[in-house]
Each structure stands twice: as structure tokens, then as C-alpha cells.
Amino acid sequence: MVSSPFLGYNAFERPHRWRLDRILSRKMLRQFAQQNRFLLQKLATSWQALGAKGFAWYGPRGESLYVAGDLMQQMLLQAALSDFGRLVVAFPDDQPRLPVQKMLEAQASILESLLRRERELEQMTAELMRSYDQLVAMYAVSQVSRSRLEPEEVLRSLLEQAVHLTGAQRGCIGLDLEGSGEVQVLAYPEDRPNDGLLAARVLAYVRRTGRVLLGNAPAHYADLGLAAPAPFRRIAVAPIQVTDTVVGFLGLFDKPTDFEAGDQKLLSALADEGGALLERDRLYRELVVRERMQRELEIAAQIQTGLLPKTVPQVSGADIAGASYPATEVGGDFYDFFTLPGGEVGLVLGDVTSKGVPAALFMAVTRALLRAAAPTHASPRAALAWVNADLYDDLSEAGMFVTLFLARYSPEERTLVAVNAGHSPVILYQGGAARLWEADGPPLGVLPELLSEDQTVPLAPGDLLVLLSDGFNEARNPAGEMLGIEPLLETVVHHADESAAEIQEALLRRVAEHAQGTPAGDDRTIVVLKSVQRPA
């Protein structure tokens, strides 16, 4: 007996279907003769009353099922019972033959009818037993497929069940989960040298047709394109599908008798269970990958959040605020502040194209380079030119760039010196009016040389510099409409008399009102610098 992991159940302990009819036929006849011995005795007695010396029932192979009296007479009358044998009555020579012959045939007809019903009952019982075995096997398959066994182990056991439940002599499962053309073969009871070639042909067939194949004669499986003679006498194949895509097959070979409709149903059910198993395994592996990536993103987000300023500089003559809200766990926006010699303060806002981990990595590298360059270079342009030279090759290779606005503000002189490398929107509020500060050069990583130049702007008390990422002006509402620049300019003018933090919150509210709950499609980062009166 071959062992099976299916909960200790071996459905194939029952006789194979191909032997079942013959076993039941012989057994049924003996049991019928024994259980109906009183009826047979009545028939024998009735014949003896008519002068017969003996009565007998012989099976289809001549075996004695019931014998009464002496059959060694010269005249024997017989009546066929179809495939259940024959009835025999022995008479003396002087007994009239025709009337009793018709009587014997009538009794044989009645007995044959009883035997046929008995056989039908036995066959129905056998089918019920077989269906029960299949149901138990399917339940066992479904249970073990949800266990912690590796998919290959479960598939092998599933194949083993299919072979034994149908009476096939062997079987195999062919899989090509990636669609690479390389077929993985699982065979039972053992591999054969040409299993790989056969599996490739069968898989090509089920992918082309998408249906079950029952091949009980060479003409039935001619479409497989196998060289004659085929390496099997009979074949039954069902496709294994994952999300409506055929990724393999379950095949059975060399059943001693023809594959039947019941075999097809069982094979299809087992193939469907195999497909469901593979789908669950695929989803589980994807879930593991997603959870690992999610955890890595959470760690990256924690690191990125740690790189952003924890506080804003407290500078006499300046009111500063800043914040960043990534659209995903990690993003490419960043802002930073620098304390510079002479009481000056540096501020920067950058936006790395793309999102996710690659953008976050370039954000971290750019921030680190700016922190190193800003205090050691004479002007914002000089610092940014040095950063661009360092990043250009890496950004070009990655197909990314960085828009960036870098400024240094002197509260004592009330002047702002800044360089804008392709960044927008930047809003400058002076004398009661707000306008865009246009970039005069492309982003970092577009060209090896920085084209942007320093620009010097005086900031009187009450003047504002507002740096925004494009997540503000490109915010969309449920209808897909972008907010645009004008509402941002209007908001700055309307709230210009408030503090930097209040202006920041007003701009964030304006975006939220427009979005009406629509998820952010891009990061939203903001820095507000307001020139204020220095204490005396």
C-alpha cells in the first residue's frame, strides 16, 4: 500500500472500477442464489410435480449456483438467463417437450428480470461507494491543501489520489507558472525518461484548447502531435488554471478500461483544487513580499521623517515655518534650514521627480550635499553648482532630476539672495501684491552645468517668501480639476498679515477645500519666510 498524507485516508483501498463489475457479478450471483434459495426450491418442487427428475441453475462460466435432483437424464431442457447463466431441467425421455420448454423460458425471463434489478442495485451501490470515496478524497485534498505543506507536496499527493481513484496506472502534473516554456513535471508513481517531452505537448494542447481531454483511442489524442506509437494506451487530461490562465495540467495514463464521464468530473475537480492551491500560494507569497516592502517603507519613512527639521530657526527679524506631507510612505520632497555665519539663515525646498524609495534616496543624498555645501560656499548659486556637479551622473543614469530653490536671508540687511533651479511654485509677496518667482534655469541633473543665477531681493517688514512643492497647485478635486496658481496667490494676499505658521495652515486648508477628500497625488511641502520688525 502506498502511503498518503491525506489525513490517514486511502480511498484506493477499494477495488478499482475496471474490476468492479466482474467482482460484483460473481459475488452477486452467489449471494442471490443463497438469499433466494427458498424461491429456487419452489421452482424445483414445481418441476418435480410435472415429472422432472432434476432442476439446476448454472452461472455464465458453467459454475453450479443451485442444483436439485438428478440431472443425469437423457432429455435436458435449457433456458438462457442472458449473462446470468442458464436454467436446466431434466426429464425422462417420454415427457412432452414443447409446453414445459415454454414454461421454463417464462420462468427464466422472470428470474432474469429479478437478476437485472439486483445487478442495477449492486451497481448503484458501487457508484455510491465510489462517489463517497471521491467526496472523502476531495475533502481530504481541500484540507491538506490548506495545511503548511509545500505546494509541491500537496500536488504530488493530489496526483496520487487521482491515479488510484480512477484506476489509472500512472499520472503526472505539468506546470509552467511563469510562462517560460520550461515545464516542471511531477510524476506518480515514478518519472519516465520522456515525461518532459510528453508534458510539453500536453500543456501546449490544454493551453490551446482550455478543455478536458479523454483519449481512449489514438484518434482521440491525435491533436497532441505525438510520434506513433504513443507512450500510453489511454489518456485523460484536465487543465490547471490560475486566475483564468492555464499554467499546467493534471494527466492520467493507461487505465485498463476506458476513461468515463465520472473520471472526467473527478479529474476536473482535482485540477481545479490544484489551481486554487497554486493561486493561494501565489497570493500568500505576494502578501509576504508586500508586508516586507511595507515594513521597509515604514522604516524608510521613519528615516526620512528624521531627516526633516524638528524645529524652525529662531532668528531675530524673521518668522519661519515649514512642513512636509508625503503622498506615499516615502517621497521625494524635502525642505531644510541652515544656520549660516553672520546671523544669516539658509532655507531650501526641493522636489525629486518620481516617488517612493528611489526619490527618497536622492532626496537624502541631495540634502546631505546641501548641508555640506551651503556653509562653505560664497553664494547659493556656488553651493548649488557644486551639488549639481556631484549628482549629475547619478541623476542622469536614473532618469531623474531635482527642482530646487536655495536661499540665504540676512535679517540685519533685510535681503534675500536665492537661486532657483527649475522649481515652482515660489511666491514672493511685497508691497501688498503676490507674484511668482520664476526659475531661470533647469533642475539639477538636466545639464552638467548649472544655468541658474543668484537673485537678490529686499524684504521689508511684512514681505513674504513662500516655497511650495507642486503638490499644492496640482492638487485635484473629485472632478479631476487642478487647483492652479491663482488660488494660492489669493490665499497669500488674504493672510499676509498673519504669522508664518498661520499662512502655512491657510494654504494647507485651501488645498484641502479644493481636494474635497481626493487622495493627494503628490507630496505637499511648504516653507514660509516672513520678514518682521527686529526688536529695538
User: For residue range 397-441, what is the model confidence (pLDDT) as tens digits?
Assistant: 999 999 999 999 999 999 999 999 999 999 999 999 999 999 999
Q: Where, residue-wise, is CATH 3.60.40.10 in the chain?
A: 308-531
Count the Cβ atoms, other than its own, within 10 Å of residue 385: 20
DSSP assignment of 134-184 equals HHHHHHHHHHHHTSSS-HHHHHHHHHHHHHHHHT-SEEEEEE-TTSSSPPE
Contact status, residue 352 vs residue 362, Cβ threshold 8 Å: yes
Distance from C-alpha of 356 to C-alpha of 300, rounded to nearest angstrom: 9
Q: What is the pLDDT of residue 14?
A: 40
Residue 53: CA count within 13 A, CB half-sphere: 13
Q: What is the pLDDT of residue 17?
A: 42
Instruction: Find out whether the peptide bond into 229 is cis, omega within 30 degrees of 0.
Output: yes
Mean pLDDT by 10 residues, the chain (536 residues): 36 41 67 88 88 90 90 82 89 72 87 82 66 60 60 85 87 90 88 79 91 89 81 92 91 91 86 87 86 78 79 91 82 87 91 81 91 92 96 92 96 95 96 95 95 96 96 94 96 97 97 92 92 83
Q: Where are the alpha helices (DSSP H) in 374-517?
A: 380-398, 470-473, 486-494, 500-515
Length of the chain as a residue count: 536
Please report the sign of the dihedral spanned by the C-alpha atoms of residue 147, residue 148, residue 149, residue 150: positive
Q: Is 18 helix (H, G, I), strand (E, B) or coil?
A: helix
Angstrom CA distances, 450 to 105, 363, 399, 470, stand at 114, 18, 18, 22
CATH of 308-531, one of 3.60.40.10, 1.10.3720.10, 3.40.50.300, 3.40.50.620: 3.60.40.10
Give me the amino acid identity at 48: Q
Distance from C-alpha of 271 to C-alpha of 249, rounded to nearest angstrom: 7
**How far is it between the farthest Cα atoms of the chain?**
154
Q: Where are the alpha helices (DSSP H) in 37-150?
A: 37-49, 98-145
Q: What is the pLDDT of residue 13?
A: 39
pTM for this prediction: 0.56
Q: Facing residues of 531 across strands?
A: 318
Q: What is the pLDDT of residue 18?
A: 38
Give me the amino acid identity at 26: R
Q: Where, residue-wise, is CATH 3.30.450.40 in the chain?
A: 149-285
Task: Please report which helix (H) or strand (E) contains residue 319, including its range.
Answer: strand 318-325
Q: Facing residues of 90 across strands?
A: 54, 76
**Phi and psi for 301 in degrees, rounded to 5?**
-65, -40
Distance from C-alpha of 247 to C-alpha of 495, rounded to nearest angstrom: 63
User: For residue range 49-106, what is the model confidence (pLDDT) as tens digits?
Assistant: 888 889 999 998 889 999 998 888 667 889 998 888 999 998 887 666 668 888 888 8
Report how far apart the first and last C-alpha atoms of the chain are (Å, whole number): 101
**Domain range 149-285, CATH class:** alpha beta
